[in-house]
Every structure is written in C-alpha cells, then in structure tokens.
Amino acid sequence: MLPRLEAVAARFLAGDASVVNVEPGGRVFARVVLRNLARIPFSGNVGLKVIGTGPGLGEAVMATGGELVRGIAPGANITVTTMPFRVQEGVTYVIQMKAKDEGDLAWADSYIDQSVHPGARLIGGYEAVEGDRVDIIQDIEVGDCALAVRCNGCVPSCELKVDTGACRVDVHHCGCTCSVRQLD
C-alpha cells in the first residue's frame, strides 16, 4: 500500500459554526482533519485549496492553507485550515488537499469526497434553498454535552445534528448561518 493521508473530517466554517450555504459577502474558511494511514511517520508539506466555480468566475482558487509538519505518527491526525475568504453569490466551493513528503512522494492529491464529507461543499447564496425563513433558538443538552444554538433566517428543512462525542452541532441544508456555544 502506498503511504497516504486521508481526510477524516472536512467542512466549511463561519466562526465555530459549520455551514453549507452562506450569504454573499460572508467570511468563511475550510478545515480538514487528515489521518496518517501509513505504517511510517509523515514529514512534509500538507496543503489545502478552496476552489470556487460559478458564473463570471469560471474556476478559481479562493483560499489556501498549509502546514510544514514533522513526524505525524501512524494513525495520528493533523488539522489544516485555509485563510478566510468572502463568499460570492452563486459560486460553489470545494476543497482540494495535497500532501508530499520530504522525498517529494505524494501522500494525498485529491478533492475532498463530498459524499463522505457533505460539509466540504459550500454554496454562495441561498438560491438552492427554498421555503419560508425561521429563526432557531435552542439549548440542547445530551449527556455531558450542553450547547446553545442560535440560527437566523433558516429554511424549515434545516437539520441540526448533535455530535455528542465532540460536543458540537453540525448544520445541514439550512441556508443560514448559526452560532453554537457550549453552556457551562
């Protein structure tokens, strides 16, 4: 098996909230967690690119991010983020990852699979989301996880999924921006 790093989590964020649709002009960034699947440590460069595609834009690199890393142990993770960028109306954004070791061997070179990581795709604007808008103001408590969720202008089909292991809320198909904070 060739050595490789694989995405185990990937999403676009506005602050601490995961987003799939963002109002034009909103600032977001991409975050990807990569795991070393090889039996040897990884040392080298890990990079991310946010690629935007849309009318009047064609295809363009919207943001980049990267790390020079030393000795990611087998089975260990590294988190990489991009610089923030402003969302444009009608543009769809995806994340590309690349990793090369010190010997210039590619460990990763692909777009994040959106069927595995739906949060790795972002749409600028809300034209793809229909329905009346609602605000969500909810305190959620599951086991040891207690969160305050505030979302403005969401479509009724909005899905909030609680990840109790990480004590966070993942926002899916809401067409709004949400803020989530842990309660004491």
Q: Are 25 and 90 within one domain?
A: yes
Strand partners, 80: 32
User: Looking at residues 35-62, what average pLDDT do you find?
Assistant: 92
136 vs 175: which has the higher pLDDT: 136
Angstrom distance (rounded) from CA 73 to CA 88: 39
Q: 97, 127, 157 — which closes off a domain?
A: 127
pLDDT at 104: 94
Q: Are 103 and 55 within one domain?
A: yes
Q: Tell if the pTM clears 0.75, that is, is over it.
A: no
Q: Are 54 and 138 within one domain?
A: no
Angstrom distance (rounded) from CA 138 to CA 2: 46
* CATH code at position 76: 2.70.50.60
Which residue range(s) make up the domain with 22? 1-127
Q: 79, 94, 127 — which closes off a domain?
A: 127
Q: Are 72 and 105 within one domain?
A: yes
User: Does residue 153 carry a pLDDT above 50?
Assistant: yes
Q: Are 89 and 9 within one domain?
A: yes
Q: Which of 128, 156, 144 is closest to 182 using CA atoms?
A: 144
Q: Count of domains in the chain?
A: 2
pLDDT in tens, 93-131: 999 999 999 999 999 999 999 888 888 888 887 544 455
Q: Are 90 and 47 within one domain?
A: yes
